[in-house]
Chain A
């Protein structure tokens, strides 16, 4: 049995919450995606199957709406509202990101809907929350992220280059909080028998997801500055991104500082036949035999600690310059060092580790007579597994079966 089996979620199609609906649907909730006449605009977003635009060919749509059923309801029409109320009467959760007064104007806001479904969990997602007039301003993922912190911390050492944002992650973060809120309220409903209204702010979600940028200011009135490929910081820190022999990058993480790490690094250097090229190799041996605490506070003042620590960094640089980023990553990890290859998404997707864990999943597109490989589960549940139960719905695909079910109730 799936974790959310038997729970019905109504999702009013809007870009910022598509991911929240998928998180619930892939865990077994019966998510009914409600589109307006004409369809949700993201049905027409690229990329497209075979690069040919067309109905039901958007890979963007395919991804964000797996495991959902789709219906069309015109909320601007009284017959549509009657149908929507009937649907809500059968639902456990409503997730929506409508303009903040729209549902109230239509007589479909929380206070109206609880007359039909008293224990409804209503999750409303808006840019700044339901009570803030700034939620009425036009927005995109980019503008909301700029307003709420992430880009300030991301970019390059060279501050003449613009800060950068992680595309669509503002919507993802808001969706995570929308889904977490729905789950929290459902657990409470399971104990207390009551639903409630939940106000989720997209900008607030990113505001509390910027790590030290926020709490350096909250605690100590300090401002972090962005740096290339590493944490924004109040004081500049050493580079951690290294270009490897194949032109790809690796994140070198924290340099070695334990005897076992120096020993493993030295052994690897010798295995590669590079120890003769590193004059500092002798210090790696000293590090491998170090007795007592290796006190990094003495960096710069204690000659031996400084030389050993420096040798670790130099050894990593030398190896990186002579090996591929992937080999550097695996070799460092075998030496006990937390290093990462900077993969492109598709390179990670094809990596044997993720394949072995079953991350590539096949989804049947019976309409196209083909099977498509999708990204799989974010978490491995042993008793109530994650699963994509169906491809994304076509426009109005489930009108008949859903409305028959709803009208019968």
Chain B
């Protein structure tokens, strides 16, 4: 089948999640993504190659479950770029590629002799997208990051939490996922530009900057009204100020760490909610209007918590859902993956076949295209799994030459 992006080839140096997540999107729509890894360090620059989760007791650079998740559908080759012969191979690959992508620290590719100017000489219309925490210019451009650092510096850690407590932040690298989405967009936007003008370009993506764009209204409140987010009573991230909604929160239920999210968008939702709860406090004048409830939210939340705390989360979900109130149980991984039929029916957890792990489920894509839908069938590449294939099929090396390059430590 021809995929939406089958006509594009990506010379891909990305890793971890912030980079690998971007090229996973491209690969799932048929782009030929060729990952380049270092045989000397056994690809361990990408720490996910050898870290949990694991499918069984086997360990090593081909057994990392996260690596498989983020690299499904890609090809993997090894090049020892300390050698001139490997650099020659890389030149041949770039000549045949549409995109060079990487998420190294600033300057790594340059040191190898493959900065943007060189890439342009090799392939004049190349699209080069670099992705690092602080970008390639500015006072912090040499600083190092990973997801939680990006989130801390950009304000995303601060805004997630409850008042008068330390920041709760994110329990995962939200900005590795989201940085990857911005990187995928950067690659595709540059390809769209090239498709219509013939012109390539370099895109300098700084994950911290991408993260800062996600605070829009708060930043305008700062630049226009001078109101900071660091102020008494803030953050209170389960509440809604834009627009004011109350109740709007996550409340305790019976069961092991079970919680329910409830939101009343307007007065009609509140009346439906009060109709289900049916307790005297619902008629308290301090809860009569949205503005009243918003102002008295601490007291309101106490009443609601007392009501939810004696009920199961799915019981509350059923009651309020039937009444037409926005509600959802806080879902645990097992519940949203294996219990909630909607994810499975959407095809959200495809099974890929990994050369060593066998059949493994991975994150799919949350979209479906009517004509050229995504497909993920192959697992992430084992280290150097496709080196011979790519060198012979694509770059014109003979099997004997490949064997010699292997003996010389080039691949």
Contacts and interface: CB of A to CB of B under 8 A. Distances in A.
A333 B143 contact: yes
B364 interface: yes
A381 B245 contact: no
Interface string A35-48: 00000011011110
A143 to B, nearest CB: 4
The range of chain A's interface size is: 35 or more
B193 A129 contact: no
B172 A212 contact: yes
Contacts of A167: 159, 237, 240
Interface string A212-247: 111111111111101111111010000011010000
B178 A47 contact: no
A348 B208 contact: yes
Interface stretch (B277-285, B369-377, B402-410): B369-377
Given A153-B172, A231-B171, A357-B137, A208 B348 contact: yes
Contact of B7 (A134, A169, A191): A191
A217 B334 contact: yes
17 contacts: A59-B217, A128-B346, A138-B269, A151-B330, A184-B5, A186-B192, A188-B5, A200-B367, A215-B69, A216-B52, A218-B363, A224-B333, A232-B172, A340-B157, A342-B152, A347-B155, A378-B213
Contacts of B156: 166
Contacts of A179: 185
A240 B338 CA distance: 32
B53 A45 contact: no
Given A152-B332, A229-B166, A345-B155, A181 B221 contact: no
Given A151-B261, A210-B172, A243-B166, A143 B328 contact: yes
Given A45-B243, A333-B144, 5 more contacts: A3-B193, A185-B369, A231-B173, A343-B154, A375-B215
A404 interface: no
A88 to B, nearest CB: 17
B53 A59 contact: no
A3 B193 CA distance: 5
B360 A219 contact: yes
Given A166-B237, A204-B343, A214-B337, A138 B212 contact: no
Interface stretch (A154-162, A272-280, A286-294, A308-316): A154-162
A183 B186 CA distance: 10
B205 interface: yes
Contacts of A344: 155, 158-159, 228-230
B298 to A, nearest CB: 13
A180 B250 CA distance: 31
A23 B336 CA distance: 29
Task: List the 7 closest A-B pairs by CB distance, nearest first.
Answer: A204-B366, A153-B171, A345-B155, A340-B152, A232-B171, A146-B261, A63-B216
Given A198-B368, A226-B171, A359-B209, A253 B160 contact: no
A187 B343 CA distance: 28
Given A172-B214, A183-B188, A227-B171, A222 B53 contact: yes
A235 to B, nearest CB: 10
Contacts of B134: 353
A369 interface: no
Nearest to A161: B162
A382 B203 contact: yes
B145 A338 contact: yes
Interface in A351-401: 352-354, 356-357, 359, 372-384
Nearest to B357: A219
Interface residue SS majority, chain B: mixed
B112 interface: no
A243 B149 CA distance: 15
A190 interface: yes
B148 A345 contact: no
The range of chain B's interface size is: 35 or more
Given A153-B172, A220-B53, A345 B215 contact: yes
A150 B333 CA distance: 10
B244 A46 contact: yes
B57 to A, nearest CB: 11
Contact of B220 (A63, A208, A211): A63
B17 A214 contact: no
A220 B360 contact: no
Given A138-B265, A347-B155, A356-B137, A184 B54 contact: no
A336 B144 contact: yes
A214 to B, nearest CB: 6
A62 interface: yes
B366 A207 contact: yes
A251 interface: yes
Nearest to A122: B370
Given A129-B346, A140-B245, A219-B53, A181 B223 contact: no
B353 to A, nearest CB: 14
B50 interface: no
Given A169-B174, A215-B69, A185 B346 contact: no
Given A154-B160, A342-B167, A218 B361 contact: yes
B140 A333 contact: yes
Contact of B367 (A190, A199, A337, A372): A199
B334 A379 contact: no
A356 B162 CA distance: 32
Contacts of B58: none
Interface in A131-180: 131-132, 134, 137-140, 142-156, 159-169, 172-174, 176-177, 179-180
A4 B367 CA distance: 22
Interface string B160-182: 11100111111111101110011
B292 interface: no
Nearest to B17: A211
A90 interface: no
Given A3-B193, A180-B181, A215-B363, A374 B220 contact: yes
B319 interface: no
Contacts of A78: none
A349 interface: yes
A50 interface: yes
